[in-house]
Amino acid sequence: MHTQQQVEEVIAKAFGITPNDITDELEYQSIPEWDSVSHLVLVTELETAYGISIEMEDVLTMGSVAKVKELLKKYNVEQVA
Amino acid sequence: MSLYDLIQKNSNLFFIDAQTGHAVSIKSFHQSLPIDDRQGLVFIYNDNLIGSVEVLLNFMNSRFTIVLLSAQLHPSFKQNLEALYTPYYIYDPGRTAIFGYNTIATSLSIQLMKRKTLPEYYIHSNIKMLLSTSGTTGSPKFVKLSDDNLVQNAWSILDYMPIQSDDVVPLNVPVVFVYGLSIFTTNCMAAGTIVCTNNDMLQPAFWSDFTKYNCSTIGGVPYVYEMLHRIGFFRKNHPSLRYMTQTGGILNQALRNEIVKYISTYNKQFFAQYGQTEAAGRMAYLPQEDLLTKAASIGQPIKNGRFEIDEQTSELIYYGPNVFGGYANTPDDLSSWHETNKLYTGDVARQDEDGYYYITGRIKRIIKLFGTRLNLDEVELILKNALGGQTVVCTGINDKYLLVSHVNDQLEEATIKKVLQEKLQINPVSVQVKYIPTMPLTPNGKIDYSTLMMHA
């Protein structure tokens, strides 16, 4: 079982920002720290943290923090509040 | 014939606004915006959307000198450049008003800012366009290009690029970069449809447009191809895709093999090119059939161009009608045009027995480790190939250390040191390995070496 907080920490690490700045509404390309480069870092970080392999189509759907969390559910990464 | 006339001659050309799906004929952009008939500078903060394209085409067909800048340029950089160069017109879709300028609604969707006081300096009539050499730092240093430079560059590219009159071309490379500008000019002259978009390849909208409009081509720097590889682009056919273009550095071997496999499986074409802003675009290209045999080569000079290698320094020198007319650092520099066909590229090169050219480094990207000359670009390529195409970047620290920066936190320091020792006999004690979460890039996708060095 993983907490939402852990997910946010992984995301924050990928973007090099603090977990406090992570909200569900945060979108791809809405901050300089979340660009094409860090997006792929995020993919790698999530794969490492949860032992999953994210498909191409899914890499493209990760357009916001909320969508990232939704995607993790699809990969059977359970998250509790 | 001017670049603008050559584009208008391609009268079946359409532009698609990816945001609305509307298609507009090139004919409807002819003198579509009322602009003054005089000399002066226009700053176009381009975002690759259809409004920027319309403004660009209107000013191409005028006596104005176009300064192409990125819409994403930091506001303080914009202000500094505007204060220095006092442009007569400014197009910036991100701002509704600018101090010292009147806002003019030139069409329903396009606003131009017009300067209240007339700038007082002379611009040489050859200077049609000013392009930034970095595009990122807000540096006031621009490359002066003539209309003829741009036309000659476009003709040389059309000589080898398989552009067809029914091609659909996404503007996925920003037009503010000379490579994006070349894609824009050549396809405006010869293709059928240009898709104006600012979506990037990691956004689903880019790919839905790609399929919806049956895009024929895609372009990018090596990093873009690394990204395409990462998202699995080369695992399946993209039926409308006919050819891909690349510039901005040599692809690593692993990625090149992947691309060769892809183009031979699905019968596509791939053009690796070599160019510089100072050459208004391209200087060389590698024909598809040489992609494997002459792997790391930049190929042969484009039509009407030729190379020479300086005997003393091994610097690559290019000669061609597309060579620029000097730099501008201040408005005063706009009064002159330095006519030449010779360009010192700043790249170190060699030529093989078959006449193919290879870039072996940049003049400044060389360090001496224990007295041994070490070309950082070569080291980088060797490491990337040994590590299966991972992103690694080599820089020097005061000729004492070789710094290897990478973005994979699973990558062991010892692995890197071992490769360097085995392949290049570099002592591990002179190697520093640093993991960084993200690779600093310039907006055109190249590795930002200066930022890397600053944090070394």
d(CA B65, CA B80): 19
Q: pLDDT band for position B456 (50/70/90)?
A: low
Which residue is associated with the tokens 């357009």? Answer: A63
Which of B332-346, B370-384, B417-431 ranks highest by mean pLDDT?
Answer: B332-346
Q: pLDDT band for position B364 (50/70/90)?
A: low
Residues of A in contact with B232 (CB under 8 A): 55-56, 59
Please say if the pLDDT value at position B196 is more than 70: yes
How many A-B residue pairs are in contact by the CB < 8 A criterion?
48
> How close B390 gets to chain A, by Cα (Å)?
12
pLDDT of the residue at B368: 66
Cβ atoms within 10 Å of B448's Cβ, excluding its own = 18
pLDDT of the residue at A81: 66
pLDDT in tens, B291-300: 888 888 999 9
- Chain A positions contacting chain B at CB under 8 Å are 13-16, 28-29, 36-41, 43-44, 48, 55-56, 59-61, 63
For chain A, helix, strand, coil in percent to 5 are 55, 5, 35
Q: Between B203, B408, B438, which is nearest A37 by CB? A: B438
- Chain B positions contacting chain A at CB under 8 Å are 200-204, 207, 223, 227, 230-233, 235, 407-410, 437-439, 441
Please say if the pLDDT value at position B372 is more than 70: no
Q: pLDDT band for position B309 (50/70/90)?
A: very high
pLDDT in tens, B382-429: 888 888 888 899 988 776 789 999 998 899 998 998 888 877 777 777
Q: What is the mean pLDDT of residues B50-64?
A: 98
pLDDT of the residue at B281: 93
Beta bridge partners of B358: B350
Please enumerate in sequence order all residues whose Cβ is within 8 A of that of B194, keeping only pairs 6 or more positions apart, or say none.
B13, B14, B15, B16, B53, B169, B171, B184, B187, B188
Instruction: Give me B287's structure tokens.
Output: 């024909």
For chain B, helix, strand, coil in percent to 5 are 30, 30, 40
Weakest-pLDDT range from A27-31, B81-85, B358-362 = B358-362
Q: What is the dihedral of CA B260, B266, B269, B273, to 10 degrees?
A: -40
> What is the phi/psi pair of residue B10, to 5°?
-80, 70
**Cβ separation A41–B437 shorter than 8 A:** yes
d(CA B212, CA B205): 10
Please say if the pLDDT value at position B242 is more than 70: yes
pLDDT of the residue at B134: 56
d(CA B51, CA B111): 9
pLDDT of the residue at B429: 74
Contact indicator for B406, B416 with CB cutoff of 8 Å: yes
Please say if the pLDDT value at position B136 is more than 60: no
**Cβ separation B232–A56 shorter than 8 A:** yes
Q: pLDDT band for position A1 (50/70/90)?
A: low
Q: What is the CATH number of domain B364-454?
A: 3.30.300.30
> How close B236 gets to chain A, by Cα (Å)?
11
Q: Between B202, B233, B409, which is nearest A36 by CB? A: B202
Q: pLDDT band for position B77 (50/70/90)?
A: confident
The superfamily CATH assigns to domain A2-80 is ACP-like (1.10.1200.10)
Tell me which chain A residue has its CA closest to the CA of residue B236: A56
pLDDT of the residue at B213: 97
User: From residue B304, how far is each of B239, B312, B316 by CA, in Å?
Assistant: 34, 25, 17
Percent share of chain B, pLDDT over 70: 96
Please say if the pLDDT value at position B369 is more than 80: no
The one-letter code for the residue type at B79 is Q
Is the model more confident about B370 or about B198? B198
Decide: pTM greater than 0.90: no
pLDDT in tens, B88-134: 999 999 999 999 999 999 998 999 999 999 888 899 999 999 998 65
Q: What is the CATH number of domain B3-360?
A: 3.40.50.12780
Burial category of B81 from C-beta neighbours within 10 Å (exposed 0-12, middle 13-18, buried 19 and up): buried
Average pLDDT, chain B: 91
Residues of A in contact with B409 (CB under 8 A): 48
**Cβ separation B200–A36 shorter than 8 A:** yes
d(CA B196, CA B173): 10
Residues of A in contact with B437 (CB under 8 A): 13-16, 38, 41
Contact indicator for B89, B56 with CB cutoff of 8 Å: no
User: From residue A65, how far is each of A13, A24, A70, B202 by CA, in Å?
Assistant: 13, 5, 9, 15
Please say if the pLDDT value at position A2 is more than 90: no
pLDDT of the residue at B132: 86
pLDDT in tens, A29-66: 888 778 877 788 899 889 999 999 888 788 888 999 99
Please say if the pLDDT value at position B7 is more than 80: yes
Residues of B in contact with A63 (CB under 8 A): 203-204
Q: pLDDT band for position B11 (50/70/90)?
A: very high
Q: pLDDT band for position B26 (50/70/90)?
A: very high
d(CA B215, CA B228): 16
The DSSP result for B380-421, as a single string, is HHHHHHHTTS--EEEEEETTTEEEEEES-TT--HHHHHHHHH
Segments making up each domain of chain B, as ranges = 3-360, 364-454
Structure ipTM over 0.85, yes or no: no
pLDDT of the residue at B152: 98
Is the model more confident about A65 or about B140? A65
Contact indicator for B411, B434 with CB cutoff of 8 Å: no
d(CA B442, CA B376): 18
Contact indicator for B307, B284 with CB cutoff of 8 Å: yes
Contact indicator for B446, B365 with CB cutoff of 8 Å: no
| Eight-class DSSP state of B36 | -
Q: pLDDT band for position B259 (50/70/90)?
A: very high
pLDDT of the residue at A13: 86
